[in-house]
A and B are shown apart, each in its own frame.
Chain A
């Protein structure tokens, strides 16, 4: 596990690849209390990082700083030039009543480079290929509200993948989805990571998602710990992160984080 006083140490040791994004001593406040304090974090090409922490811990702020649509109050963020970043927002933030079809959503990904309004034949074929890969073939003309929860999540993944990103960033990808959809998302992200794509996500879902990831950052205003789940998910770190006592068990080779019963805490 990374030393709390020097959170970048293990990161640097573990990283032999190129650094896509380097968060260097970043602090942020929205005009009131500090929501992020002196965060050091680097994201290498082909890495897979999950950011966990309680609500209001600064996870989404950190994600927005990594994405570059929020400038930190202090510190610096360095990005490798020319690398494409794609973002998948929480499905709960999507306006499902917006009049838009599946293919229109996917085509948005290249809005900054293509000027003409309507998709060319080649673009439509590209979209079909991405949708087919994600098991959404034939749904091009369906309104986004008419899809199942899993399909809705995958449409926004399809939009991100259509951008052919070097770094895929996801905010709570398993929030508000059922167990089956969560499995689909975890498998899909694992495949993308194996294919060489760097993935960064935030999650509240420790057992369903975070324990499956190669590297976890525990954040609660500051970076509490950074490392593999086995190194990071300890009762001590979890209590510092969540402010409540938690137990870590092992079941079938997987870690299982549980609440400590009230009488024993």
Chain B
């Protein structure tokens, strides 16, 4: 078996570029998702965007336009509900996002001709990735890096201590909206490879693994995208050879890396990652 045989195919080359970049972007944004305990929001948002993706497929509207508008709207709504911080905000997010997901499934059942592209969005597919998708993911990655670079301190302050950040002149509401938009963009541009059902795992696993490896925020922000990119590369290659969907393979690789780091770092790593849910 020639391990690098699939590189002769253009679709695979596109797929692996998108998978590597998707892993890196998910790792990068995942640092904020994990530290802000937003994994449920990421999970819900990916399900919500699925509704827009299904509607775009049925109406033959450009995927990124339809799902993108839907995603941005959902992100802002979820951000608004979550910011209120009242008891039950998670229930409200659940209602908004699962209704959108159910609508996507209903459209998929009613209009069978869109089933293939909808399946690709649900589970991820190498075949669904074209040249335009590569440019889209590169654009999403560049946007994330620029936003994180230019708002690094404000993002950090609003993540660590939003109340004090607010008093210290940081526009926390704007920073949180920006983060939600970045999250929606990341999900939108990486869901074709990862799949809606598995993308939230990629938003959590590389960042949680990086958290076990370091106590420094800036180092975590470097390690998590590297882990994500490596998982994207290895997972995509394995996906071709064992004929399993790329999303599932990438997540399984990421989970294996998590387990290895969890074992190697011992109690220190467990304490770091165990504390993610506690304030």
Tally of chain A residues near chain B (CB < 8 A): 35
Q: Would you call A111 and B167 a contact (CB within 8 A)?
A: no
Cα distance A69–B279 when bound, in Å? Answer: 21
Contact partners of B168 in chain A: CB under 8 A: 86-87, 108-109, 111-112, 163
Cβ distance B141 to chain A, nearest Cβ, rounded Å: 17
Contact with A along B132-167 (1 / 0, CB 8 A): 000000000000000011101110110011011111
| Given A108-B156, A112-B170, A117-B153: A99 in contact with B215 (beta carbons within 8 A) | yes
A interface: dominant SS: loop
Contact partners of B150 in chain A: CB under 8 A: 115
Q: Would you call B165 and A111 a contact (CB within 8 A)?
A: yes
Query: Which A169-187 residues have C-beta < 8 A from chain B?
Result: 169
Contact partners of B214 in chain A: CB under 8 A: 99
Interface size class on chain B is 20 to 34
CB of A254 within 8 A of chain B?
Answer: no
CB of B21 within 8 A of chain A?
Answer: no
Contact partners of B88 in chain A: CB under 8 A: none
Q: Would you call A111 and B211 a contact (CB within 8 A)?
A: no
Q: Would you call B160 and A114 a contact (CB within 8 A)?
A: no
Contact partners of A93 in chain B: CB under 8 A: 279
Q: Which of B164, B216, B220 has the most CB of A within 10 A?
A: B164
Q: Would you call A98 and B35 a contact (CB within 8 A)?
A: yes
Contact partners of A169 in chain B: CB under 8 A: 167
Contact partners of B275 in chain A: CB under 8 A: 95-97
Contact partners of B160 in chain A: CB under 8 A: 95, 98, 100, 105, 108
Cβ distance B148 to chain A, nearest Cβ, rounded Å: 8
Query: Which B229-279 residues have C-beta < 8 A from chain A?
Result: 271-272, 275-276, 278-279
| Given A97-B272, A111-B170: A89 in contact with B164 (beta carbons within 8 A) | yes
CB of A244 within 8 A of chain B?
Answer: no
Cβ distance B35 to chain A, nearest Cβ, rounded Å: 6
CB of A264 within 8 A of chain B?
Answer: no
Contact partners of A86 in chain B: CB under 8 A: 167-168
Q: Would you call B156 and A69 a contact (CB within 8 A)?
A: no
Q: Would you call B169 and A101 a contact (CB within 8 A)?
A: no
Residue of A with least CB distance to B273: A97
Cα distance A85–B272 when bound, in Å? Answer: 33
Cβ distance A255 to chain B, nearest Cβ, rounded Å: 32
Contact partners of A89 in chain B: CB under 8 A: 161, 163-164
Cβ distance B41 to chain A, nearest Cβ, rounded Å: 18
Cα distance A86–B164 when bound, in Å? Answer: 8
| Given A89-B164, A111-B168: A99 in contact with B153 (beta carbons within 8 A) | no
Q: What 6 A-B pairs have minimum CB-CB distances, sorted nearest first?
A: A97-B275, A112-B169, A117-B152, A111-B153, A143-B215, A111-B157
For this complex, 13 residue pairs linking A to B, each with C-beta atoms less than 8 Å apart, are A67-B167, A87-B163, A87-B164, A89-B161, A94-B161, A96-B275, A104-B216, A108-B153, A111-B156, A112-B169, A115-B153, A116-B152, A117-B153
Q: Which residues of B contact A (CB under 8 A)?
A: 35, 148-150, 152-154, 156-157, 160-161, 163-171, 211, 214-220, 271-272, 275-276, 278-279
Q: Which residues of A contact B (CB under 8 A)?
A: 67-69, 85-87, 89, 93-101, 104-105, 107-118, 143, 145, 159, 163, 169
